[in-house]
């Protein structure tokens, strides 16, 4: 697979509008994307917070940027969109994670690829299965049918 997969999420403010703003900034940086519907789910890990709205975006793999460059851009964009890191996995205006950077496997202090918990997250798997990489996902990963916390698409 030669794609960049980014998951976005928000649960503070007008989350749908924030996801749209994030998508626009990502498209400006990485070019056109294929996008899933927006999904809603309860929080995981830190439970005392509002429900999350999530979307997964699929881009062509950037030719001039490595995964660390992309991660730096995501962190800067989160800050630009008002993210404050107060509580680990707590409420946030925006969260952006690299799920896949092509077929690259990476495990260093700042970034693990593929994302280490993507198979446990319905709010990543369900939207990703709407994208053109769904067949590749099923061939390469044990995709769960059920999750402890389920994500559902917005109507």
pLDDT digits (tens, 9 = 90+) for 105-147: 999 988 999 999 999 999 999 999 999 999 999 999 999 999 9
Give residue 53's domain range: 3-153
pLDDT (0 to 100) of residue 86? 77
pLDDT (0 to 100) of residue 20? 98
Kindly write down the DSSP assignment for every residue of 113-141, as one continuous string.
ES-TTGGG-HHHHHHHTTSTTHHHHHHHS
Virtual torsion, Cα 79, 71, 30, 37, nearest 10 deg:
-70
pLDDT (0 to 100) of residue 112? 96
How many Å apart are CA 119 and CA 129, to the nearest integer? 12
Residue 59, phi then psi, degrees to nearest 5: -120, 160
The number of distinct structural domains making up the chain is 1
* CATH number for the domain that contains residue 31: 3.30.70.560
> Is the confidence at residue 92, as pLDDT, over 90?
no
> Is the confidence at residue 88, as pLDDT, over 80?
no
Higher-confidence position of 48 and 145 = 145
How many Å apart are CA 116 and CA 47, to the nearest integer? 20
Average pLDDT for 40-62 = 91
> Is the confidence at residue 155, as pLDDT, over 80?
no
Cα distances from 8 to residues 22, 123, 140, in angstroms, run: 8, 10, 23
pLDDT digits (tens, 9 = 90+) for 7-40: 999 999 999 999 999 999 999 999 999 999 999 9
pLDDT (0 to 100) of residue 98? 98
pLDDT (0 to 100) of residue 57? 98
Contact between 54 and 39 under an 8 Å Cβ cutoff? The reply is yes
Report residue 13 as tokens: 């403010």
How many Å apart are CA 35 and CA 58, to the nearest integer? 6
pLDDT (0 to 100) of residue 81? 94
């Amino acid at each position: 697979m030669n794609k960049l997969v980014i998951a976005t999420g928000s649960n503070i403010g007008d989350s749908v509008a924030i996801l749209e703003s994030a998508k626009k900034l990502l498209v400006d940086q990485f070019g056109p994307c294929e996008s899933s519907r927006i999904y809603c789910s309860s929080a995981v890990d830190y439970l005392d917070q509002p429900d999350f709205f999530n979307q997964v975006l699929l881009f062509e793999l950037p030719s001039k940027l490595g995964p660390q460059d992309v991660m730096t851009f995501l962190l800067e964009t989160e800050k630009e969109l008002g993210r404050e890191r107060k509580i680990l996995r707590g409420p946030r205006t925006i969260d952006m994670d690299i799920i896949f950077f092509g077929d690259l496997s990476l495990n260093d202090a700042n970034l693990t690829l593929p994302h280490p918990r993507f198979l446990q997250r319905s709010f990543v798997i369900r939207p990703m299965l709407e994208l053109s990489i769904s067949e590749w996902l099923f061939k390469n990963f044990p995709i769960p049918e059920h999750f402890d916390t389920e994500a559902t698409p917005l109507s």
